[in-house]
Structure 1
Amino acid sequence: MNKIFEVPMYPYERHADQDASAPVRHKVIVIGAGPVGLGAAIDLAQQGIEVVVLDDNDKVSFGSRAICFAKRPLEILDRLGCGTPMVDKGVQWNVGKVFFDERPVYDFNLLPEDGHEFPAFINLQQYYFEEYMVHRVRALQAEGAPIELRGRNKVSAIGTHPDHVTIEIDTPEGSYNLEADWIIACDGAGSPMRSMLGKDFVGRVFEDNFLIADVVMEADFPTERWFWFDPPFNKGQSALLHKQPDNVWRIDLQLGWDIDKEREKRPENVIPRLKAMLGDDVEFELEWVSIYTFQCRRMEQFRHNRVLFAGDAAHQVSPFGARGANSGLQDTDNLCWKLKLVIDGTAPESLLDTYDTERIYGADENILNSSRSTDFITPKSEMSRLLRDAVLDLSEHHEFARPLVNSGRLSVPCTYDGSSLNSADALNGPARSRPGSACPDVLLGDDYLLPQLADKFTLLTIDAEAPDVIEEAGITVTRLALSVKDDKTLALKDRYLGDCDSGVYLIRPDQHVAARRPSFDENQFRAAIRRASGQE
């Protein structure tokens, strides 16, 4: 059994701030050292923004928790310097299979097209995920980056002011106070920060519970996502099987609504359920057991003056579809470049309102898809169940029914359609690279496109002329000039030009498209730069 989650990785140490005569002011304080909080802190530190991370724990999360990470978050993690070790450790998978009773009725393949650096999905325990991120924090500290990670520092009170936030922090040696210009609250679904500010979620709580069991076993199951509707080992319910590294397997079993959660988590009740699924001859060891209730909810606003919420603290979805941690990483990816512009005095504070609108748009998209998956997986009326079962029966032999099978629509990048930061689309190009979309990757010789579009505003020209550098409203935009003549695979033309002969893209620091046109027009692109940085 893996014991990594029992070892303190950032043990409590007394800090000089605790002995200061007055509360010390920091630029940014991040509350919570989970994947989302660490992602925000690393992102800010890499941009030279001073950041302190506070967590009431001192080690990585107990149990696998979030395990399924999609290509877009992996691309973000690559920009943060920890994507490659996660992929190297993780279990890559592309195939998913759906069973009805014991019959395989439908399968899908998520293998991405050629020319992408990262796979469609990996499975990786959250404790490894957090371990690699802590290692990245330590590497940044060794390089002199302005980042701190303080364990056993629990925020117990908060006060908001027009130009700063005050917090009280409990430690093993007593309490102390800090001030922050900005706070990013990434303290999870039960967010104490949210409660302290008197904020709540809006949305749905579904009347169903699922058992999560992480099981260590030697098994010859393929590296695929298997989902059962009404299996013989869990009649009238559903089940899910996923492989993780180190011979750990994730098993989800639907239990129903009216249960005793504490009783159902006891090994004497869990083990018979698993044996019914796996067979009496399969030897296994329980690593972690939990029970969760489906929830699809979010805060009404993610920004509250100088306190910004991200990840599960801001929104929750049911786990089928891998939209939790994946969405949280896209939150901080959207937020941190905007916060840097505001801190540097380049952009107005109103730019942070677009974090609120864009990521609420993303949360609502996730909630919609997650709610639909939950309604299909757990029908609440006999008519709904009959319809669901008919779809499953038809999908075994008829292709038209397969798109209706919903065992969890898997996470995809959010496209910010309608964002105020986007320019109107004046290039009749591919829908996948329209303004608001995350740039699709392309293999260019021995290098990939996305790392060349990270952490800065970029003017991407494809068989088009433009200046090498544009200075506008305090923003420096550098040109990346490409030609389809150098792309033997034609992926660049397919993903960025379509039927057009040339194209010019303004790319934001988070690798989302802000504007595109068939050729460079100085006035139009200067206006697009101002709009993308919240200055118009």
Structure 2
Amino acid sequence: MSTRRTLYQFGYRRCPDQDRPSPARHPVVVVGAGPVGLCAAIDLAQRGVPVVLLDDADRIGEGSRGICYAKRTLEILDRLGVAQPCLEKGVTWKIGKVFQGNDLLYAFDLLPEGGHKMPAFINLQQYYLEHALVARAAEMPNLDLRWRNKVVGLSHRNEGVTLTVDTPDGPYDLEAEWVVAADGARSPLRGMLNLSFQGEVFEDRFLIADVKMKGDFPPERWFWFDPPFHEGHSALLHKQPDDVWRIDLQLGPHADAEAEQKPERVLPRLRQMLGHDSFSLEWVSVYRFQCRRLERFVHGRVMFAGDAAHQVSPFGARGANSGIQDAENLAWKLALVIKGAAPESLIDTYDLERSAAADENIGHSTRSTDFIAPRTAQELRFRNAALALARHASFAKRMVNSGRLSMPSTYETPLSTPDRDTWSGSLRLGAPLPDAPMRAQDGRPVWLLEALGGEETILHVPNGDSRPEGSRVLVIGEDLMDEHGHFAERFDATPGSTYLVRPDQHLAARWRQAAPDLVKRASLRLRGVDA
């Protein structure tokens, strides 16, 4: 059973490309108007690249699906112009609690410090995020979103791809210099290229349900091992907007997926958990953990992103968050290549960096799955021993794995110049910059990440020296004022410190005292040019 709730529907419209005597050619075609495809298309359009975005549906609104969006994802969405409506609608949270039975084992705070624009997490039904992204896409004159345009054929050409697109008016062909395949876990484009996932599908099945009710549960992530209402298994509870609650219940490896979705099986389970029947069922599904990915994300001029490239278990909120980071990583590189500012080989670093990120997510997801649903007697003994020890010893709490929550990726690639100096603070080479409250030259308050935007930037702390050379330079104390000292603390900034920031706001290089030639070489390396 899957209760459909269509909130937004969009009409098909015929486009000029369908009436041309020969196929139109576009710089980029993105396939799939989910969160990943929309983010990729918006990001490219903001960077001045014309984009066609194709989707085979015409609506948004089948169940909540993804609901947890992490701080780094919100920072990306903010740069794309859609964070504010998400924050206004979403449920903000940062506290998680882990129980065994009725007993609280421990609680954790995902963002204990202040001085950040974005919260640790928000919970928001995926259809609200998609609606905000679609509205933003509609504002962009160089982004053409075509509903009910289904890709049914793909062939590689010299320096491009030809797509056959089916519509209510019949098929037409479309040529693209580059194709971004963000068409989901069942990716038709992946099938057209005869590509398969490598990895593991776990046997345990889980029930996922969205329940509408009035409840006094706080906006926290609650996870139970062996709760009294669902003995021998695990359970998870999250609050969403509109008095909707996300519930995950472990069912075991032998559960009948079709039978478990029927109301006569679902409703008694929910009554037992909630202790009442004053609720309505919004959406229900049964899933299995999957930890798999493509061997390569780049195949000629076709690049895979999000669920089309990799899949992980939902515990830890790694799916959509990782996919949106895919989109960001790819967009700035593809924009530079299309504009002739970087060699085509720069796209290979998308595969390198996001494949490593997928492996990291799959590793965390696999370990979480093994802990939540042990498959052997040895794994079960370890899990039970860790839970027992965590009641009495604080160090054992780190061994309890109820789903390590999504964290931004740190890239170790040729684009990063190794640190030659010793640094403290929270900034890490290859990682996204921590945000900080600043003040602009004209006295306006501004956040550091807002000031950076999506351009390659040199941040410099003056030391009586001249202003560094670069396409874009921000000097701390002149262009941006660090009134609260958060920048100095998080960046371990001392007079003369210089930081080279990538267009995706990850740190490419830093120096205590930077010679101009070092900065220039690092900037070239960032754009994939040997230096």
TM-score, normalised via structure 1 length: 0.94
CA distance, structure 2, for counterparts of residue 493 and residue 174 of structure 1: 60
Cα separation, partners in 2 of 1:234 and 1:301, compared to 1, 3 Å: same
CA distance, structure 2, for counterparts of residue 434 and residue 97 of structure 1: 28
Tell me the amino acid that sits aligned with residue 133 of structure 1.
L
Q: Does 1:507 align with 2:501?
A: yes
> Residues 464 and 519 of structure 1 are in contact (CA less than 8 Å); yes or no, is this contact kept in structure 2?
no
Deviations 1:283-314 (A, max 9, x none): 00011111111011110000111000000100
Tell me the amino acid that sits aligned with residue 242 of structure 2.
D
Alignment of 1:43-58 (within 5 A): 43-58=43-58
Deviates more, 1:65-74 or 1:230-239: 230-239
Alignment of 1:221-236 (within 5 A): 221-236=217-232
- Of 150, 153, 157 in structure 2, the residue corresponding to residue 154 of structure 1 is 150
Cα separation, partners in 2 of 1:11 and 1:437, compared to 1, 3 Å: same
- Of 521, 524, 533 in structure 1, the residue corresponding to residue 518 of structure 2 is 524
Tell me the amino acid that sits aligned with residue 17 of structure 1.
D
Equivalent position SS for 2:75: helix
Residue of structure 1 in register with 2:187 after alignment? 191
> Residues 112 and 120 of structure 1 are in contact (CA less than 8 Å); yes or no, is this contact kept in structure 2?
no
CA distance, structure 2, for counterparts of residue 119 and residue 112 of structure 1: 10
Equivalent position SS for 1:200: coil
> Residues 296 and 316 of structure 1 are in contact (CA less than 8 Å); yes or no, is this contact kept in structure 2?
yes
Tell me the amino acid that sits aligned with residue 427 of structure 1.
D
Tell me the amino acid that sits aligned with residue 374 of structure 1.
T
> Residues 4 and 61 of structure 2 are in contact (CA less than 8 Å); yes or no, is this contact kept in structure 1?
no
CA distance, structure 1, for counterparts of residue 88 and residue 122 of structure 2: 10
Equivalent position SS for 2:87: helix
Residue of structure 1 in register with 2:342 after alignment? 347
Tell me the amino acid that sits aligned with residue 116 of structure 2.
H
CA distance, structure 1, for counterparts of residue 128 and residue 274 of structure 2: 26
Residue of structure 1 in register with 2:455 after alignment? 456
Equivalent position SS for 2:435: coil
- Deviation of 1:470 (Å): 3.5
Q: Does 1:416 align with 2:416?
A: no
Residue of structure 1 in register with 2:282 after alignment? 287
TM-score, normalised via structure 2 length: 0.95
Residue of structure 1 in register with 2:137 after alignment? 137
Q: Does 1:378 align with 2:373?
A: yes
Tell me the amino acid that sits aligned with residue 461 of structure 1.
H
Residue of structure 1 in register with 2:269 after alignment? 273
Tell me the amino acid that sits aligned with residue 37 of structure 1.
G
Tell me the amino acid that sits aligned with residue 358 of structure 2.
A
Equivalent position SS for 1:86: helix
> Residues 212 and 252 of structure 1 are in contact (CA less than 8 Å); yes or no, is this contact kept in structure 2?
yes
Cα separation, partners in 2 of 1:520 and 1:469, compared to 1, 3 Å: closer
Equivalent position SS for 2:84: helix
Cα separation, partners in 2 of 1:25 and 1:237, compared to 1, 3 Å: same
Alignment of 1:305-316 (within 5 A): 305-316=300-311
Residue of structure 2 in register with 1:474 after alignment? none
Deviates more, 1:78-87 or 1:430-439: 430-439
- Of 472, 475, 489 in structure 2, the residue corresponding to residue 478 of structure 1 is 472
- Deviation of 1:466 (Å): 6.5
> Residues 4 and 127 of structure 1 are in contact (CA less than 8 Å); yes or no, is this contact kept in structure 2?
no
Residue of structure 2 in register with 1:30 after alignment? 30
Deviates more, 1:356-365 or 1:443-452: 443-452
Unaligned 5+ segments in structure 2 are 440-444
Deviations 1:298-350 (A, max 9, x none): 10000111000000100111011111000011111111111011001111100
- Deviation of 1:10 (Å): 2.9
Residue of structure 2 in register with 1:433 after alignment? 427
> Residues 468 and 478 of structure 1 are in contact (CA less than 8 Å); yes or no, is this contact kept in structure 2?
no
Cα separation, partners in 2 of 1:270 and 1:516, compared to 1, 3 Å: same
Aligned residues: 522
- Deviation of 1:4 (Å): 9.8
Deviates more, 1:193-202 or 1:500-509: 500-509
CA distance, structure 2, for counterparts of residue 481 and residue 98 of structure 1: 44
CA distance, structure 2, for counterparts of residue 470 and residue 353 of structure 1: 28
Residue of structure 2 in register with 1:494 after alignment? 489
Cα separation, partners in 2 of 1:436 and 1:111, compared to 1, 3 Å: closer
Cα RMSD for the two superposed structures: 1.7
> Residues 117 and 435 of structure 2 are in contact (CA less than 8 Å); yes or no, is this contact kept in structure 1?
yes
Equivalent position SS for 2:66: coil
Tell me the amino acid that sits aligned with residue 33 of structure 2.
A
- Deviation of 1:28 (Å): 0.6
- Deviation of 1:263 (Å): 1.3
- Deviation of 1:432 (Å): 3.6
CA distance, structure 1, for counterparts of residue 464 and residue 116 of structure 2: 27
CA distance, structure 1, for counterparts of residue 426 and residue 322 of structure 2: 19
- Of 156, 160, 166 in structure 2, the residue corresponding to residue 164 of structure 1 is 160
Unaligned 5+ segments in structure 1 are 472-476
> Residues 496 and 514 of structure 2 are in contact (CA less than 8 Å); yes or no, is this contact kept in structure 1?
no
Tell me the amino acid that sits aligned with residue 525 of structure 1.
V
Q: Does 1:102 align with 2:102?
A: yes
